[in-house]
Amino acid sequence: MDIAAKRPQQFIPMSVQHPRVAIIGLGFGAEFIPIYQRHPNADIVALCQRNTDSLNEIGDKFGIAKRYTDYDALLADPEIDAVHINTPIPNHAEHTLKALRAGKHVACTVPMATSVEDCKAIVDTCRETGLKYMMMETVVYAREFLFMKELYDKGELGKLQFLKASHQQDMDGWPGYWPGLPPMHYATHCVGPVLGLARSQAEYVSCFPSGTIREEMHGCYGSPFAVETTHIRFKNSDLSAQVYRSLFDVARQYRESIEVYGSKKSVEWPLVEHRPLVIHTAKKPEPEIPEEVTCPDFGHLLPPEIAPFTQGGVYGGEGGEEHLSFTQGAGHGGSHPHLVHQFVELLRGHGEGYPNEVQSANITLCGILSHESAMRGGELIRLPEWSIQ
């Protein structure tokens, strides 16, 4: 029998011209409230947070009357079309699946899930329900990435020959589940851009570990590794990429980078934050090959009401405290209003909403399976066919 014939009425896929969105989790999630509020084609109609004091403080600040401490109660609200999930990483799959099964579209912060099985469950549920899913990966909407993608799409880079990306961050002092986390279990910020540039899919990975974190963290996840470095082979391509990741006991300023090497031009990320990008142009006299270039902003791609949010200073409003990830990540490259706009347009039936559920699974599984490869001494591991479009 056709699956669609068995679906409850609320599961019939359709576009939502003016989506009503609820934000789940108000730590990092509060960053997005004023963006949704000012988007001309969406409304933020509800908030959900277990801590009542925090919920009421943020709800009062932004003038949002509908507030929930119970996620299941929020999902039962027929006036909510979509949820934007910003809960801790271990809850992403559970909260996503509950929302989809309740007939809500989903945007979820990274990563999609923490296991192969949960990634597959999300992909399968999206297919069964026809509902939309988008993983809110910041780097693929950062101004630096958008600049490189513009160069690629215009043909200025020529043939892509190699890609490299990194995410290095000192997670000491972060709470809960972070201590001892295997580096590649949270790899979307470096995997996302290398796959996202040409909208490629990973076919297989091989990952080597290096170094050792403090012994007291070894038992948290059974992983002693300080750094994990992965080679990714792309599907139906001669192209591969290298990504590396560290979270503890590596002396390095925060860095989310992507470097693109083409036959005509290459673009390298600066070694120090706030320095210019470097473009290398082939066939110039040797001293003239490299050129420092100030990356442009891409607010012009957005509705004018939310374009100013690419410049930062969003979190908590004027005089508010910025979330640590936003501070360390240099404002996430102005990506937040792009993420909101992409999700809203996806729900309205416009645009691609990159990355969708299959693309998100492919990105996330690169990290999960890379750690598995590292535990096996670099063994090559293929991604499952259902995660490759």
Helix (H) or strand (E) holding 145: helix 143-153
Compute the distance between CA of residue 347 and CA of residue 345 in angstroms, rounded to an integer. Answer: 5
| Inside any domain, residue 217 | yes
pLDDT at 51: 95
| Inside any domain, residue 315 | no
Is residue 274 located within the same domain as residue 199?
yes
Number of domains in the chain: 2
Compute the distance between CA of residue 62 and CA of residue 34 in angstroms, rounded to an integer. Answer: 7
Is residue 290 located within the same domain as residue 172?
yes
Is residue 226 located within the same domain as residue 368?
yes
Is residue 96 located within the same domain as residue 160?
no
Q: Are strands 20-24 and 240-246 parallel, antiparallel or unpaired?
A: unpaired
| Inside any domain, residue 211 | yes
| Inside any domain, residue 351 | no
Is residue 28 located within the same domain as residue 116?
yes
User: Domain end: 108, 137, 166, which one?
Assistant: 137
DSSP assignment of 15-60: --SS-EEEEE-SSGGGGGHHHHHH-TT-EEEEEE-S-HHHHHHHHH
Q: Using one digit for the tens of pLDDT, what is the confidence trace for 152-166?
A: 999 999 999 999 999
Is residue 22 located within the same domain as residue 109?
yes
| Inside any domain, residue 186 | yes
- Domain CATH code at residue 111: 3.40.50.720
Is residue 207 located within the same domain as residue 105?
no
Compute the distance between CA of residue 155 and CA of residue 97 in angstroms, rounded to an integer. Answer: 40
Separation in Å, CA 116 to CA 98, 292, 368: 18, 41, 8
Is residue 22 located within the same domain as residue 156?
no
Is residue 70 located within the same domain as residue 196?
no
User: Domain end: 74, 105, 137, which one?
Assistant: 137
Sorted by sequence, the CB contacts under 8 Å of residue 328 that are 6+ apart come out as 169, 254
Sorted by sequence, the CB contacts under 8 Å of residue 266 that are 6+ apart come out as 157, 259, 260, 279, 280
pLDDT at 322: 52
| Inside any domain, residue 338 | no
pLDDT at 389: 78
pLDDT at 311: 87
User: Domain end: 137, 172, 189, which one?
Assistant: 137
Residue 3 burial class via C-beta count within 10 angstroms: exposed 0-12, middle 13-18, buried 19 and up: exposed
Is residue 39 located within the same domain as residue 172?
no
The beta strand positions in 151-224, using DSSP E, are 160-168, 202-212
Residue-number span of the structural domain to which 69 is assigned: 3-137
pTM recorded for the entire structure: 0.93
Is residue 249 located within the same domain as residue 369?
yes
CA angle 152, 262, 236 (to 5 degrees): 80
What does the buried/exposed string (b/e) look like for 239-268 if buried means 16 or more CB atoms within 10 Å of the residue's CB?
Answer: bbbbbbbbbbebeeeebbbbbbbbeebbbb
| Inside any domain, residue 281 | yes
Name the stretches of the chain with pLDDT < 70.
1-14, 312-330
Is residue 240 located within the same domain as residue 124?
no
- Domain CATH code at residue 261: 3.30.360.10
pLDDT at 316: 45
| Inside any domain, residue 307 | no
